[in-house]
Amino acid sequence: MVLIQIHCVSYVNEKLQQIFIELTLRSEQDEYVQEGIKWTPINYFNNKIVVDLIESKNPVGIMAILDDTCATMHAEAAGVDQKLLQKLDSSISNKHYTPGGSQFTIQHYAGNVVYSGEGFCEANKDLLFKDLIQLMQSSTKYVNLS
């Protein structure tokens, strides 16, 4: 799966934040409680809800909807971004997701990020196969691999 680079960065930041929260804050605080250590609890935002919004398969998240939309777009590219936005808007029920016509907003742990729908599906297409076909067709060398 390939996403537009900035979207991947936001997703990775969410995952890293979730790992940090889980391994550092939550586990340390649980350990203090278990050992009876006196301490001041640290309030934190558990961003699992945002990670699930992006990667969940049930209920479907943004990546699953993106992959499904892109899988059905081979024959037609016109209007596919709008189709994606419509599917997102009708399928996503998460307080960290806000629809917005030709864009949508995700409330990440670090703040709101607005994503444009324009070109979203095209950037998700896996062009490796087409590239390999073109390379093979342009090659003048023949290698027998049998």
Tens digit of each residue's pLDDT (9 = 90 or more) over 20-45: 888 888 888 889 989 999 888 888 88
Identify the structural domains of the chain with CATH numbers, from first to last.
Answer: 5-127 (1.20.58.530)
Nearest CA-CA partner of 70 in 82, 60, 84: 84
Instruction: State the average pLDDT over residues 112-140.
Output: 76
Tokens 């996503």 found at: 92
Residues ≥6 apart with Cβ < 8 Å to 42:
25, 29
pLDDT at 104: 92
Mean pLDDT score, 44-71:
88
pTM over 0.85: no
pLDDT at position 123 over 90: no
